[in-house]
Amino acid sequence: MKAEMSTRTVVAGTGHYVPPRVVTNRDLEKLMDTSDEWIRERSGILERHHVDDGVGTSDLAVEAARRAIADAGIDPATIDLIVAATLSPDHYFPGIGVQVQAKLGLGPIGAIDVRNQCSGFIYALSVADQYIRAGTCKRVLLVAAEVQSSNLDFSDRGRDMSVLFGDGAGAVVLEPNEDGGGRGVLSTHLFADGNFVPQLWMEKPSPRDRPTFQTAFFDEGRFFPKMDGRQVFVNACQRMPEAVRAALAANGLAIEDVDHLIPHQANDRISLMVAKGLRIPVEKVVRNIDRFGNTTAASIPIALDEAVKAGRIRPGDLVALTAFGSGFTWAAALIRW
Ligand code: UT7
């Protein structure tokens, strides 16, 4: 999906929001048989944010969206499409896109929900990019948000998962760059292999079961997300570098051209392995999992916003994004900032 036309999608504003409640590794030690040392060594995570009761994914999404809109300095009424990425919508249906629209008080513009888990932000970016490059939309709000903490197994049984994930949201405002300059999304590259569905999934509730909600499923913990951590780890370390290489090759660029690599923050060891696999200096890798844990679709836009606001990403820099997650799905995107 390489940009053939002169129009490119540029990021006009970024924002992120995490709920105020910080949960440290020591807090988790009180809930299950785990340790601060294990979590730090195996994942690089020191703390994450959890919502309080009554706060949903759309609430986090709206806060992040407001910040991105303010950063872009635009009138929200000029947004003509919402693309929302999440695996944890407030409701089984509808998705959060329509809630973001209503809470921002926007008119009856389209609201697309993208369901690609950890790859959700890049998948959603690819969707928004097509609308902008085709000239169909002039201003797209892309928001990625997750509330994981309300459905994690905080008993010993779920300790491999529950220590890793956190809540949060990130957003970007996207616009066409019609000045003929080189700024913007150079290309997006999406991949999937559905043979790995059970290796990282939330199996239930499933409409295949009659009735869908059964006490036995609760007792067996099948309403909680589950993963084969080793399989995910190995595949993530292989697939993210592959995706970045594909993106660079499609644009005639080399790894040395990349100024910043923003990998999905799944595990700091994975991010370091991806850097090693690509032979990219670790100083170029944006890493913030220590403070947020794995926020699934939200992790890349949170890291992007932090890096931009810190002055780390500057005009003209080449930013590479890559992600891997449930499906399996994986993806990469290149942005000339
Ligand atoms: O965004 C995509 C979603 N997920 C990921 O990217 C995660 C990918 N996977 C991983 O990050 C790693 O596989 C984990 C962090 C989940 C696990 O690290 P690991 O080095 O692969 O450990 P392991 O699964 O081999 O487990 C080692 C031991 C096991 O005990 P035994 O069998 O050796 O006695 C686990 O039971 O660590 C145990 N363990 C824990 N111990 C303390 C698992 N979770 C915990 C825990 N605290 N929270």
Domains and CATH numbers, the chain: 9-176 (3.40.47.10), 184-336 (3.40.47.10)
**Ligand 1 shell residues, CB under 6 Å:** 34, 38, 42-43, 118, 159-160, 163, 200, 227, 229-230, 232-233, 236, 266-267, 270, 294, 325
67's tokens: 């910040």
The DSSP-derived string for 252-290 is T--GGG-SEEEE--S-HHHHHHHHHHHT--GGGB---HH
Total residue length of the chain: 337
Measure 325 CA to ligand 1 centroid, in angstroms: 16
Is residue 46 pLDDT above 80, yes or no? yes
pLDDT at 59 over 90: yes
The per-residue pLDDT for 3 is 45
Share of the chain above pLDDT 90, in %: 96
Band of pLDDT at residue 1, cut at 50, 70 and 90: low
**Can 288 be counted among the known catalytic residues?**
no
- The token pair at 58 is 């759309």
DSSP letter (8 states) at residue 245? H
Q: How far apart are CA 286 and CA 274, in angstroms?
A: 12
Distance from Cα 154 to the centre of ligand 1, integer Å? 14
Strands 110-114 and 81-85, bridge-based pairing: parallel
- Mean pLDDT of the 85-99 span: 97
Paired tokens of 217:
């499923």
Q: What is the pLDDT of residues 314-328, one digit of tens each?
A: 999 999 999 999 999
Pocket test for ligand 1, best of 23, 38, 122, 160 (most atoms within 8 A of CB): 160
Amino acid at 318: L
Identify whether 118 is a catalytic site residue: yes
Give the whole-angstrom CA distance, residue 311 versus residue 331.
Answer: 26
Strands (E) in the chain, as ranges, are: 8-17, 22-24, 47-49, 81-85, 110-114, 140-146, 168-177, 184-192, 200-201, 226-227, 260-263, 318-325, 329-336
Whose alpha carbon is nearest atom 26 of ligand 1?
160
pLDDT at residue number 5:
46
- Are β-strands 184-192 and 140-146 bridged in parallel, bridged antiparallel, or unpaired? unpaired
Ligand 1: residue of 42, 159, 201 to mutate (most ligand atoms within 8 A of CB) is 42
Interval 254-280: pLDDT, tens: 999 999 999 999 999 999 999 999 999
This prediction's pTM: 0.97
137 is catalytic: no
Q: What is the pLDDT of residue 178?
A: 78
Fill in the DSSP letter of residue 52. Answer: P
Average pLDDT over residues 95-112: 98
How far, in Å, from the CA of 87 to the mean position of ligand 1? 22
215-238: average pLDDT: 96
Average pLDDT of the chain is 96
Q: Which of 118, 177, 235, 267 is catalytic?
A: 118
Rounded mean pLDDT of 299-323? 98
Mean pLDDT of 118-146: 98
